[in-house]
Amino acid sequence: MSDFNMQLVREFFELRLFHVLTHWQHEGLLPRTADTMSLLFVEHTSPEAGRTPDFVLGAGEVPLVHRAVVEVRAWHADRFYASVIENSHALSHGPDSETRQLGRAVFGHDDFTSILVLSELPASTAPRAKAVQLLRDRGIGHIIEFPTLLRDMVERVGAHGNYAPSQSLQTMRILKRYNLIRRQQLEFAFPAETPAGGKPVVVHGRPDPGEEENE
């Protein structure tokens, strides 16, 4: 699964026109103790300018990043609540000195940031804010949630394109070709929780036959 997660993240950045280097392309530079299996090194040769990207990156903010060491911690079974972050040895600190050293060796200087790709943050405001602050405090530059990444990839894959070298992109293309992934599914993010006040969300769609008769 970790290899597949890395493949998805790599292809996400490639679709966004980044150059992507994997850890194994620089094995000679790696400290023996470094945990590099989840690392990518990405560089955008024509980054957008004019504003500073948020800590939690939206897909449209990714081109604002010039260079980054990207760490992938998918853990799709979990949301990244504060308790998960606090109890995880892998997240007990941000990019360590070895990772920064490796970034300097790959890019040739210190002009790069770090990005953590994770499954998803809590949906509720307060738990989400607490988790974000904990990750900030660990010295991480930015984070990207997997739903953000996947929605952007599906949006960019054409239903009639040819992505034969990539099984993941080809699968997305086929699902899109047969309308199993529709554009409106990407444009409306339905909340996972009932809004404050208890009023349910009304999704306007095709009325039931009984409703048509009563109108």
pLDDT at 51: 86
Interatomic CA distance for residues 53 and 139, integer angstroms: 16
Q: What is the pLDDT of residue 101?
A: 85
CA dihedral 84, 87, 90, 96 (to 10 degrees): 110
Q: How far apart are CA 67 and CA 103, in angstroms?
A: 10
Measured CA to CA, the distance from residue 45 to residue 48 in angstroms comes to 10
Phi and psi at residue 43, to the nearest 5°: -145, 130
Q: How far apart are CA 206 and CA 215, in angstroms?
A: 13
Q: What is the pLDDT of residue 205?
A: 44
Task: Please state the pTM of the whole predicted model.
Answer: 0.78
The confidence score (pLDDT) of residue 36 equals 53
Please report the pLDDT score of residue 41 as a whole number. 94
Q: How far apart are CA 205 and CA 2, in angstroms?
A: 39
Cα–Cα distance, 68 to 198 (Å, whole number): 42
Predicted local confidence at residue 68, as pLDDT = 97
Confidence at residue 133, expressed as pLDDT on a 0 to 100 scale: 96
Q: What pLDDT tens digit does each residue of the chain (215 aa) get?
A: 578 999 999 999 999 999 998 865 555 555 544 455 688 999 998 888 878 999 999 999 999 999 999 999 988 888 999 999 999 887 766 677 788 888 898 899 999 999 999 999 999 999 999 999 999 999 999 999 999 999 999 999 999 998 988 999 999 999 999 999 866 444 434 444 444 454 444 444 444 444 444 44
SS3 per-residue string spanning 9-27: HHHHHHHCCCEEEEHHHHH
What sign has the CA pseudo-torsion 208, 212, 213, 214? positive
Specify the pLDDT at position 26: 53
